[in-house]
Structure 1
């Protein structure tokens, strides 16, 4: 696949995806067109396209049938990955950012356009300062990372328990099926919710974890317009204090002025 996908590339990709359904029956229309049939599905292509796929080792062809060659599987994966990457580059906001991965900072390519939290990071307040301080943004990303490691998205129930698949008698289920890292992450998420409180945690979960937009949150919760970002800011500031609690200064007790010593009474028996 070239950097700029051509019309013939798209035709080849579409044909190979059709062949991936299984062996297809060929219906020829003269020397210029071929119809591929798989069950009730039908796909018409130029006959030269199928011949090209055979010559490149992407397809095999008999007299009245054709099928996908093993080499085409890798071709399809690579082509689809390049197409998705091109779409993201065109419609996304790709930057490099440092994220905490299993306790270690790693530099990743991040699509900031997909996150409502990232869009809020560009907002300014009346004084020109960032609407969300760095500590609040870091807290939101920390919550999202824990939420992802806890395997709470996208299949989440009201009781915060995973949906259980069918299992035979004697097998473990529920929390016992989770890895230790996922269990620890769930504990971290629950503690974060407690730190924010029931009034604020809902907005943080909706926006940072479920990736809902501000307008969606306001509509679902029947909040006034432009109130969701204020609730989110308050929630993330509280969460930032939970993740990085301020240090308490040691209390110094003064007995008196400098040089002062209390009088001690001698007790005689």
Structure 2
């Protein structure tokens, strides 16, 4: 299938099929033996036969005596294709960097979106010798604190909700709510242990920058700190946080 984007053509074929089966015939006006699909709603489209053959070999469609229909796997295929496009579109506005989160004796690589991360700007800071001002592990620890903080729902909600409330909402399965609640409680405990570990003198700046995404100048102004002092305080807080996670995150 030289010159043909096979996956793109398979996607087009499956989207044409939808949930219905289509009658498949050879296109009489095409010399290359294209496959003509006739949809029950009256639409007609031609597709290269190798595309249909490839889709069949991947288990995405089935031919039942000239009636071509999508399989259950076809839905998963289309979802993956859509997700890949969305990811590619988002990557145009991302700056993905790799940091390392040290926990115990292991160092786990983590992907950080430097275009959105509240700590991204600090990754580029250098000291007088040209070395990074913040270690990768320290910044990754700050990201970990922020993830737990937001997952635990600890950020204050300051905007009202105008969505209507429905009294006949379908309730979730019994186990799902319990599991979610347990995960949220666990995240809150991790945040509490982390803040306790770094101490009351440093926990405020860690929360302000990592979780509330405030800039250093804003922190200095709100806390009435001297200029350029927040950078040192944050570095100290993140190093303490990294030690806490490296020790297993136990308070």
TM-score computed with the length of structure 2 as normaliser: 0.51
Distance 1:185 1:58, change over 3 A: closer
Which of the numbers 192, 216, 224 marks the counterpart of 2:195? 192
Q: 1:105 and 1:122 mapped to 2: Cα distance?
A: 25
Q: 2:72 and 2:177 mapped to 1: Cα distance?
A: 39
Which deviations, in whole Å up to 9, do the C-alpha atoms of 1:137-170 show, x marking residues without a partner? 254134135336x4449xx7618xxxx99577xx
Q: How many angstroms does 1:172 deviate by?
A: 11
Q: 2:64 and 2:81 mapped to 1: Cα distance?
A: 26
Does residue 23 of the first structure (1) align with residue 26 of the second (2)?
Answer: no
Which of the numbers 178, 181, 196 marks the counterpart of 2:181? 178
Of residues 9-18 and 25-34 in structure 1, the stretch that sits farther from structure 2 once superposed is: 25-34
Q: 1:39 and 1:233 mapped to 2: Cα distance?
A: 65
Conserved? CA contact 1:96–1:110, under 8 Å = yes
Does residue 205 of the first structure (1) align with residue 208 of the second (2)?
Answer: no
Superposed, which structure 2 residues align to 1:1-269 within 5 Å? 7-16=5-14, 19=17, 21-26=18-23, 30=28, 31=30, 32=34, 34=36, 37=39, 44-48=45-49, 49-54=51-56, 57-62=59-64, 65-70=67-72, 72=74, 93=96, 95=98, 97-100=100-103, 105=106, 107-108=108-109, 110=111, 113=114, 116=117, 117-118=119-120, 120-133=122-135, 136-147=138-149, 150-152=151-153, 158=157, 166=169, 178-179=181-182, 182-189=184-191, 192=195, 196-197=203-204, 201-207=207-213, 233=231, 236-237=234-235, 239-240=237-238, 243=241
Q: Secondary structure at the match of 1:204?
A: helix
How many pairs were matched up? Answer: 210
Please, which runs of 5 or more residues in structure 2 have no aligned partner? 159-164, 222-227, 245-251
Q: 2:4 and 2:101 mapped to 1: Cα distance?
A: 35
Q: Secondary structure at the match of 2:100?
A: strand
Q: 1:109 and 1:242 mapped to 2: Cα distance?
A: 19
Conserved? CA contact 1:200–1:232, under 8 Å = no
Conserved? CA contact 1:124–1:131, under 8 Å = yes
Q: Secondary structure at the match of 2:10?
A: helix
Q: 2:20 and 2:115 mapped to 1: Cα distance?
A: 39
Distance 1:89 1:139, change over 3 A: closer
Conserved? CA contact 2:23–2:68, under 8 Å = yes
Conserved? CA contact 2:100–2:137, under 8 Å = no
- Superposed CA RMSD in Å reads 5.6
Q: 1:27 and 1:187 mapped to 2: Cα distance?
A: 59
Which deviations, in whole Å up to 9, do the C-alpha atoms of 1:194-229 show, x marking residues without a partner? 7533x773432144xxxx9x7xx99xx9x9xxxxxx
Q: How many angstroms does 1:18 deviate by?
A: 5.1
Q: Secondary structure at the match of 2:62?
A: strand
**If you compute each CA radius of gyration, which structure gives the higher value, 1 or 2?**
1
